[in-house]
Structure 1
Amino acid sequence: MGGYDANFNPPLEDKYKCPICLAALRDPVQTKCGHRLCSSCFKTIRGGNWYFRCPVDNTWSNHVFEDNAVKREVLSLKVNCLNSNCVWTGELREQQTHLKNCQFEKIECPNKCKTDVMRLDLDKHLLECPLRLEKCEHCKIEVVVTQLARHHLLMCPKFPVNCPVCGETEVMRENINGHINIISGDCPMVVVPCSFRHIGCMHQDQRCKMSKHYQDMNTQHLMMLSTRLVDLETKHRLDLECCAKKFEILLNELRQRVDNSEKRNMQLENELKEYKLKLGLN
């Protein structure tokens, strides 16, 4: 981290400079020999060792202490804003708070376009930023402005496109599949099957020509329908006859079972009577 980067006014005295980073002391520590360093600079020169050598007079030591008095003095030093054109002055401890709001501070564009602009120019930049978001006029989704044309060309569900079959314009992309659907669509140029396909008419043509086909083939369609109805009636009659035969067979089987059961019951009753007679029971 090192020391403070600041524009001191008056200039920074040497006693407040870190001998390592040459900047204003940040969180200073003092060695036994009386020299001061930034806390982070001290940790760097010490590393993982127990002893360290003072960078000023090469004295070996194993202990430092926090110099809070000098820390307060450094933070009370007067500084000018680091940004040119800004007239702010104040104590060093106030600098960071000021920079967060300074209109002359250069900040990164929030759209990540890798442009640094002064805070006072940010609003203007955001209106021109190549990575700004704009709402698609069709689907209202926000898209990066440089990707808007691609969004329209390939992705926007509401963007009007040409039908690949009939060439009709102003069909929303999300409606194209429905438009050319052979069953429920309304594209006049899509080839569709005859509505009487299920009864044998295998004709297919463009949707716009099917009305003429229905007119021309009206009689044939009625004949096909009549034949189909006769076939269905015949099949239905045969199915009923088959069911009736099966029912008759089942009924006969049930009657036979009932007769057998009755005979068995009579046999058991007779056997019971004989058994009682043998036992002398009445």
Structure 2
Amino acid sequence: MAGPVTPDGGYPVSLFVQQEFDKKFLCNLCQRILREPIQSFCGHRFCKRCIEIVISNGLQMCPQCKQEGVVEEEHSVLKADKLYPDNALKREMSQIKVRCVNPGCSWQGIFKEFENHASQCQYQMVPCPQCGNVTSQIELEDHKTKTCPKRLVNCRHCGQLTTSAEMSEHSKVCPKYPLMCELCKTKKIPRDRMEEHLSSECQNRKLKCPFDNQMVEASRFAGHVEQSAGNHMIYVIRQASNVEQRVNQLKERIDNLSGSETGLVAHQLQKMFDRMQQLEGVVQNLATRPMAISGTQSQPMESGEMQMRARHLEIKTDTFEAVVTTLHRDIEQCITTLETTDRQRRVDKEKIVSIQRNIVTFESALAQKDIKINELEVRIESLECASYDGILIWKIPEFRKRRLEAEQGKPFSIYSPAFYTSRTGYKMCARMYPNGDGMGKGSHMSLFFVIMRGSYDALLSWPFAQRVTFMLIDQNNREHVMDSFQVDKTSSSFQRPTTDMNIASGCPLFIPLRHLDDPSYGYIKEDTMFIKTVVDTSNLPVLNDNKTPADTSSQKKVNR
């Protein structure tokens, strides 16, 4: 059953040259080639990163055990303290022939050389620091300078700096972007000059004739005025005649007006006379020469003016030649500087690659040292807590938190540190269910005894046959709770261990939970509990004892 593939999960299956390979090399979570293989207590293998993510979400059953239909509570639960690096498998994988999975790379070798190659492969896929798109490392520089949508470019029209992706939007507002006039079809007119072109330069713009109110194209306006000069003159004469008639009519009406209305009529007459004078001036102009619109036709230039303009052009040409020579020198200096900078950049890049390789090597060495330090810390902690006289005083801090977690099912039991009957004796521990187990679940705290696999089991007598006593210590020193039992020699719990620990056996009804909550007792003080476990070592057998199994019934004793 394939699980989610994490960024640090397994390698692609295409890594192996031979595609027919043992499925034990696949991670049981991501179904890819194992990266840093880890073996669980149930025997299944996972990538280190894959199993770390699963465990970080709380205790879970092994998914492969579920798929196989073989789920054992003791073995199938994935716990950090029951995961081990599978170095044997790692050595077996180290000699398998592999290929580079990066597109375009032709490297082949053995598995133990792959990590070193992968850290230096120029075809590995990396994200572009500008746009985030993934490309091969060998093409990254070309991508950043040629195809990256976030690269900075200059607008070739106005010179403004913007990104490649935003250039199309910039073109819609660029003041120097070349446009085509829809009227005259003239091309390459800068956007900021289009309004001026339409108002004063475009030959196809419409102009209104002041005489006949016709809309005429600018290129035809002069011809229209010349061709219609006679009609325009007739129009003016008619207008003048109409004005004269109106003036005469007004004179006739003046005699019939009262004194209050005379001033108003005199004002209107003055306006009429002014209009007549304007019309007379227009008629004189039409009579002396054809009308022309300023700017539509140019007069021939005088020869002196042409010589002056030629001189000005020569001066400008000399100035531009001097500027171009200076710019040419500056460009040559810039090219030399760029070549020097490029060489230095290549040298710096080689140094950076070398430093990165050294960092990877150092990080790998540090990781190995951290693993060894953690293993030594766990071993030292176990040795500090171990006792060798068959007596364990187990301190359990944060009990209420552990009980709440047990009620929620994560985890539902707690193991004590290991203790021994002697230096070369039996190895044992206690196991407590804060919320009970079996018939005591939800009503009692359960306490069990566990035989563990020890270094000297081959020298000891089996089955284990010693009396075991549990005591919950009242920290007020008034009422300790005790329970003891003689082991059943026929039970598999007391035979020589074949795994790390045997099945637990003990007292499922050790103490009611309501007694733990009773403030009149001192079983829990400052959220801490103490449990004492005593194994009778006064008569340890040397050979196997074939006596009748002892009575397994237990009796609770309360010392008052």
Q: TM-score over 0.5 for the alignment?
A: no
TM-score by length of 2: 0.24
